[in-house]
Amino acid sequence: MRMTNSWNRFIYRLWAPVYDASVNRFFLPGRRRALELLAVQPGERLLLVGVGTGADLPLLLSNIQVLGIDLSPAMLAKATRKQMNSRSTVQLVIADAQAPLVAEGTFDAAALNLILSVVPDGPAVVRLTLKSLKPGGRMVVFDKFQADAAPISPARRFLNTFSTVLGTDITRRFGPMLQGCPCSVILEESSLMGGIYRIYLLQKLPSIII
């Protein structure tokens, strides 16, 4: 099944009531580690792409200016509860991460946790997120990826027919998403499920116009 915005709105409306109490418990260590590496400091501006139910918000330090965007109104409705209890200033917006939203060079840092395996066009999200960062800005990615150099096994392709119905693609590679992007990979490390989930810390190159 091909990922589409319309299907994602539908499937994540179904996920919204149970997401925090179910699968997000599994993802929490990866989210925490990703934000630890991003090291957003008080006074900085942070873009949370695919903020979902706001699972990242309780993990942030105080006095950060946060913009969280998500395609799913149902998921954002859950995030508003965490927004009220956040130690930072949080704005939540229904938006498509594949389309331009903010001015270039607006943010100091960005987090893409569990979103690149969901959106129809992952490379567009990476490109636009980098464009939103100031030169030298940081971006962290926590998600499941197929190894760049390894072939996709028949079993994985078969399982993907079911995982896409549930709202995530398990066959995507991260390397191709970075082609032509003005950034450097500062760190890559294994995360959950023996490395099926990985964390990447990237930095936007200075004085580059995308």
- In the predicted model, what is the mean pLDDT of residues 14-37? 96
Q: Give the β-pairing of 45-49 and 107-113.
A: parallel
- What pLDDT score does 206 carry? 87
Does residue 46 contact residue 64 with C-beta atoms inside 8 Å?
Answer: yes
pLDDT in tens, 48-81: 999 999 999 999 999 999 999 999 999 999 999 9
Count of other CB atoms within 10 angstroms of residue 57: 23
- What pLDDT score does 87 carry? 92
Read off the pLDDT band of 92 (50, 70, 90).
very high
pTM given for the model: 0.95
DSSP secondary structure letters along 37-97: HHT--TT-EEEEET-TTTTTGGGS-SS-EEEEEES-HHHHHHHHHHHHH-SSEEEEEE--T
- What pLDDT score does 207 carry? 67
Is 158 exposed, middle or buried, given 0-12, 13-18 or 19+ CB atoms closer than 10 A?
A: exposed
Domains and their CATH numbers in the chain = 5-204 (3.40.50.150)
Residue type, position 177, single letter: M
pLDDT at 210 over 60: no
- What pLDDT score does 13 carry? 97
pLDDT in tens, 113-127: 999 999 999 999 999
Does residue 69 contact residue 41 with C-beta atoms inside 8 Å?
Answer: no
- Closest of 115, 33, 11, 29 to residue 68, by C-alpha: 115
The lowest-confidence range among 8-17, 31-40, 200-209 is: 200-209
- What pLDDT score does 1 carry? 85
